[in-house]
Amino acid sequence: MVALAATPTSVKSQQKKIEIDMFPKAPVGYKQVYIQVPTQKNENDFKVEVYVGKNQLVDCNKHFLTGEMKEENLDGWGYTYYTIKSDGNIAGTMMACPDNIKTTKFIHLQPQLLRYNSKLPIVLYVPENLEVKYKIWSAGKVMQKAKTVAALTTTINSVNNIENKRWKLIELNGKNVNGNAETHYIIFHSKNGKVEAKANCNILLRDYKIKNEFQLKIADGISTLMACPDNMEQDFSAVLSLADNFTTDGKTLSLNKARMAPLARFELAK
**pLDDT digit string (tens) for 9-23?**
666 554 444 578 899
Residue 8 has pLDDT above 60, yes or no: no
More confident residue, 22 or 149: 22
Residues 57, 239, 214: CA angle, nearest 5 degrees: 100
Query: CB–CB of 256/243 below 8 Å?
Result: yes
Quickly list DSSP for 160-215: H--TT-EEEEEEETTEE----TTTEEEEEETTTTEEEEEESSPEEEEEEEEETTTE
Q: What is the pLDDT of residue 151?
A: 56
- Calculate mean pLDDT across residues 111-137: 94
Q: What confidence score (pLDDT) does residue 95 get? A: 78
pLDDT of residue 144: 79
Beta-carbon contacts of residue 249 (< 8 Å; ≥ 6 apart): 159
> Do the Cβ atoms of 66 and 89 come closer than 8 Å?
yes
- The whole-number pLDDT of residue 2 equals 47
Domains of the chain: 2-138 (2.60.40.550), 158-268 (2.40.128.270)
pLDDT at 166: 96
Phi, psi of 211 (to 5 degrees): -130, 150
Rounded to whole angstroms, the Cα distance separating 135 from 73 reads 24
For 94, half-sphere exposure in the C-beta direction (CA atoms, 13 angstrom radius) is: 3
- Cα separation, 204 vs 199, whole angstroms: 9
User: What percent of the chain stands above pLDDT 90?
Assistant: 64
Predicted confidence (pLDDT) at residue 3 exceeds the cutoff of 70: no
| 198 closest CA partner among 237, 155, 242, 164 | 237
